[in-house]
Amino acid sequence: MRLILLGPPGAGKGTQAANIVDKYQLPHISTGDIFRANIKQGTDLGKRAKEFMDKGELVPDSLVVELVEDRLQQDDTKVGFMLDGFPRTLPQAEALDSVLTNMGSTLNYVVNIVVDPSVLVERAVGRRICRDCGATYHISFNPSKEDGVCDKCSGELYQRSDDNEETVSNRISVYTNETEPLVEYYKSSGKLVTIDGLQDIDKVFADIQEALGV
């Protein structure tokens, strides 16, 4: 199975990505992981990517596509893969299709987890994280037993500096503007499946499994 997972910040995509990888035994491929692996290994692609990153610049689409193509040619992807965080733009999606065609392959599904933006803002702004163990809570949906104290290790809970309404709204806006053309692109190909991310976590995953048909 070869699929892409889409979802805005705060939609629970990370949780569902882990569920999908575990259930279907697929390699989880993200551009961040690819960048880190290539830079750590000192590959030519990694060195080229690092030059842009060191200057605080975005890695160009052409190089990102090269890195993804290299990753998709590794042995563990013979069983399939799940792409997370790529493609982000329509040109990247078109380039990915070309890469897969050249490999004699194609995508099976594009899973799009949808949540109303106002809910996403509320989720992010109310998030609290333990400084010691990294456990995540929410002041409304999943509060700790004692305010400001982690249930697991008694560490201090804090709010990330970028978990404020303005920053979160901007992240969601950027994501929406980038991915809207992607949604239409994959819908027209018949590969898009839309999942309601407002449901209980288990129901979201059940809907994903039903959409994938296995």
- Compute the distance between CA of residue 209 and CA of residue 100 in angstroms, rounded to an integer: 24
Active site residue 171: yes
Active-site residue (options: 48, 88, 187, 191): 88
Q: Position of tokens 């897969």?
A: 100
Pick the closest to residue 128 from 140, 120, 138, 118 (CA basis): 138
Active-site residue (options: 131, 152, 160, 203): 160
Q: Is 100 exposed, middle or buried (0-12, 13-18, 19+ CB in 10 A)?
A: middle
Which residues are bridge partners to 193 per DSSP? 111
- The sign of the CA dihedral 55, 58, 61, 63 is positive
- Compute the distance between CA of residue 58 and CA of residue 19 in angstroms, rounded to an integer: 30
Cα angle 57-58-59, degrees, rounded to a multiple of 5: 115
Active-site residue (options: 13, 71, 123, 128): 13
Active-site residue (options: 50, 171, 187, 191): 171
- Output DSSP code: residue 138: E
Active-site residue (options: 2, 71, 127, 128): 127
- The sign of the CA dihedral 97, 15, 64, 70 is negative
Active site residue 88: yes
* Active site residue ranges: 13, 88, 127, 160, 171
